[in-house]
Amino acid sequence: MTDKPHGLATRLSHAGRAGAKVHGFVNPALHRGSTVLYENMAQRSAHMRRRFDQALTYGTQGSATHHALENVIAEIEGGTRCQIFSTGLAACTTPLLGCLSAGEHLLMPDSVYGPVRTFCDTMLKRLGVTTTYYRADCTAGELAPLFRPETRVLYLESPGSHSFEVQDVRALAACAHRLGCVVLMDNTWGIHAFQPFLHGVDVSIQALTKYAGGHSDVLLGSATTNAEAHWRTLRDAALVLGQYASPDDCWLTLRGLRTMAVRLERQMQSGLEVAAWFAAQPEVAQVLHPALPGAPGHELWRRDFTGACSLFGVVFKPGVTVAGTHRFVDALRLFGIGASWGGYESLALPTTGFVTRTASQLGGAMVRFHIGLEDVDDLVADLRQAVRLLTEATPE
Ligand SMILES: Cc1ncc(COP(=O)(O)O)c(C=O)c1O
């Protein structure tokens, strides 16, 4: 035996399993339930005192199925404690509610996942919390003047899931900590490839709906931390709000996680091949794929990430209109038109209207691609047959 830490695929195969508790079966059991019965009052009291642990007290506090999933996520994120949420969005918004009070201030990247922005601009605003949006690829020096005495939270999402800015997490988190703020990060893109706590993140958020679930049939989220104080804030917010995730979805996500490393390895390779194909097309101004040499953020990606997923953007030259991107996407046969990502199937989505930055700031009309598990030659052939429609109207 050596002390070398196990690789991701090994950890995903072994974490969260408890053979003895399930009569030797390989997989954790699926526990559904609300009421938990005790043998006597002393046993009940002992469980009730463990509100912040994986105690079995009532359905909303989770079951052994939830706890198995929490243990796997904490393990791969490099944290100590994890809370599961019903959706990725709930995993973004609940920690924000837990950390912020009326009169306080929050710093959000301008690339942030749209519904989180809506949450800040509506509910948080109504509750008296002010949000300032900062340029996602700013330096710590540029961010520092935006902190106010009442700033409590720095939120990160790296890379942005529509405009793909890679953030200098270490420098930005250090700046926030110097000013006494908590650092929350949406780490969904880098679930397998970015270790948030080594870079100073306090709470790492995952939309498990994406590559963890992996089959486009589950919605789930998680927030993980490595510090007791942040854990208490998170857990308290989840319990007070009655947050709960279906054990069936937790079980499906556990099942998805077992194969996540191999899926992501294949999807990363296929994604890079398709991204490189796009980079060579005359209609393309820029490919926003942090793992592609020469792409924006590539140097930071090389420094901080050990891999990539298969979600990236393509910005077209000014000759390509939004209508042209719609014709192109309509003509694709193997790419679904739809939101979300991380499943086994490829998707294409024109992103005008989704990104905070305007098309002119991005340089042109844009399409976001998610590359699935299809044969990459088939995907490229499909793109090739549709590409002329970017600049040419469909014949009547
Ligand atoms: C970056 C990012 N975070 C969070 C979410 C929310 O996840 P869910 O769809 O599970 O609510 C999404 C969904 O697309 C996302 O792209």
Phi, psi at residue 113, to the nearest 5°? Answer: -45, 125
Give the Å distance between the CA of 336 and the centre of ligand 1: 18
Q: Tokens at residue 190, please?
A: 């880098």
Torsion of Cα atoms, 280 then 335 then 222 then 288, to 10°: 20
Q: Residue 80: is its pLDDT beyond 60? A: yes
Q: Is the CB of 209 under 6 A from ligand 1?
A: yes
DSSP 12: H
| Distance of alpha carbon 60 from alpha carbon 56, whole angstroms | 9
Quote the pLDDT of residue 359: 47
| Distance of alpha carbon 50 from alpha carbon 40, whole angstroms | 16
Average of per-residue pLDDT values in the chain: 94
> Whose structure tokens read 């040499």?
293
pLDDT tens profile 281-292: 999 999 999 999
Report the share of the chain in percent with pLDDT over 90: 88
Quote the pLDDT of residue 107: 98
| Distance of alpha carbon 133 from alpha carbon 131, whole angstroms | 6
Q: Is the CB of 249 under 6 A from ligand 1?
A: no
> Whose structure tokens read 């393990």?
75
Residue 295 amino acid letter? A
The continuous run of DSSP H or E covering 2 comes out as: none
Q: How confident is the model at residue 12 (pLDDT cuts 50, 70, 90)?
A: very high
Number of residues that this document lists for the chain? 396
State which fold the 260-390 domain adopts: Aspartate Aminotransferase, domain 1 (3.90.1150)
DSSP 44: H
Quote the pLDDT of residue 358: 46
Q: Is the CB of 57 under 6 A from ligand 1?
A: no
Q: Tokens at residue 167, please?
A: 């953030």
Task: Give rounded-to-5 percent helix, strand, coil for the chain.
Answer: 40, 15, 45
Q: Residue 19: is its pLDDT beyond 90? A: no
Closest atom, ligand 1, to C-alpha of 160: 1
What are the sequence ranges of the domains in the chain?
Answer: 65-256, 260-390
Q: How confident is the model at residue 142 (pLDDT cuts 50, 70, 90)?
A: very high
pLDDT tens profile 26-76: 999 999 999 999 999 999 999 888 878 888 889 999 999 999 999 999 999
- Closest among 234, 307, 237 to 70, alpha carbons compared: 234
Q: How confident is the model at residue 150 (pLDDT cuts 50, 70, 90)?
A: very high
DSSP 154: E
The continuous run of DSSP H or E covering 17 comes out as: none
pLDDT tens profile 288-321: 999 999 999 999 999 999 999 999 999 999 999 9
CB 229 within 8 A of CB 359: no
One of 3.40.640.10, 3.30.70.100, 3.40.50.300, 3.55.10.10 is the CATH number of 65-256, namely: 3.40.640.10
What's the predicted TM-score (pTM) here? 0.96
| Distance of alpha carbon 121 from alpha carbon 162, whole angstroms | 19
Nearest CA to ligand 1 atom 10: 88
> Whose structure tokens read 């420094």?
303
Ligand 1 probe mutation, 92, 157, 210, most atoms within 8 A of CB: 210
| Distance of alpha carbon 324 from alpha carbon 374, whole angstroms | 25
Give the Å distance between the CA of 70 and the centre of ligand 1: 18
Quote the pLDDT of residue 22: 82
How big is the CA angle at 174 (ends 181 and 142), to the nearest 5 degrees?
90
Q: Is the CB of 86 under 6 A from ligand 1?
A: no
Give the Å distance between the CA of 337 and the centre of ligand 1: 17
Give the Å distance between the CA of 188 and the centre of ligand 1: 8
Q: Is the CB of 89 under 6 A from ligand 1?
A: yes
Report the share of the chain in percent with pLDDT over 70: 95
Give the Å distance between the CA of 368 and the centre of ligand 1: 15
| Distance of alpha carbon 284 from alpha carbon 324, whole angstroms | 13
pLDDT tens profile 346-395: 999 998 655 555 444 667 899 999 999 999 999 999 999 999 999 987 55
Quote the pLDDT of residue 187: 98
Q: Residue 159: is its pLDDT beyond 60? A: yes
> Whose structure tokens read 């050596």?
2
Residue 350 amino acid letter? P
- Closest among 358, 383, 388 to 162, alpha carbons compared: 358
Quote the pLDDT of residue 1: 52
pLDDT tens profile 379-389: 999 999 999 99
